[in-house]
């Protein structure tokens, strides 16, 4: 048991001396500079720098605001549908019918152009 405890203590000490992963990754990124003639790699490096400088809280707030806007529009649409459900269904049926008619027409024109090429 003492041997196991000693091994664990030695590994803890070794880990404590190791630099944090973020420090290691930054060191690797800094040492891996793109050659001056490799524009694509330079662009990726610039993007990586921008991403490192980004503030995650701002991105999350932007996403939250976007989602809240979408939900507000959906709630507004549902309110309008609830005011006139029959009118909504009529519009929906007309729109689906028009889409199907356009699809059938398009399929027929493709079919006729394909059959005229094979003749």
Q: pLDDT by residue (tens digit) across 19-46?
A: 777 777 777 777 767 667 777 777 777 7
Q: What is the pLDDT of residue 34?
A: 65
The pTM (predicted TM-score) of the whole model is 0.39
Range from 12-26, 54-68, 89-103 that averages highest in pLDDT: 89-103
Q: How far apart are CA 43 and CA 35, in angstroms?
A: 11
**Does residue 119 register a pLDDT over 70?**
no
Q: pLDDT by residue (tens digit) across 89-99?
A: 999 999 999 99
Mean pLDDT of the chain: 83
Structure tokens at 110: 């493709």
Contact 48, 29 (CB under 8 A): yes
Q: Kindly provide the b/e burial profile for residues 24-50, where b requires at least 16 CB atoms within 10 angstroms of the residue's own CB.
A: eeeeeeeeeeeeeeeeeeeeeeeeeee
């Amino acid at each position: 048991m003492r041997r196991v405890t000693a091994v664990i203590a030695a590994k803890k000490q070794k880990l404590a001396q190791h630099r944090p992963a973020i420090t290691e990754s930054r060191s690797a990124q800094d040492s891996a500079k793109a050659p001056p003639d490799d524009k694509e790699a330079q662009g990726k490096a610039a993007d990586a720098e921008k991403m490192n400088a980004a503030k995650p809280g701002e991105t999350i707030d932007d996403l939250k605001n976007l989602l809240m806007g979408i939900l507000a529009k959906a709630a507004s649409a549902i309110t309008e549908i609830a005011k006139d459900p029959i009118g909504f269904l009529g519009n929906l049926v007309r729109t689906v019918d028009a889409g199907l008619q356009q699809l059938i027409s398009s399929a027929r024109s493709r079919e006729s152009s394909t059959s005229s090429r094979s003749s």
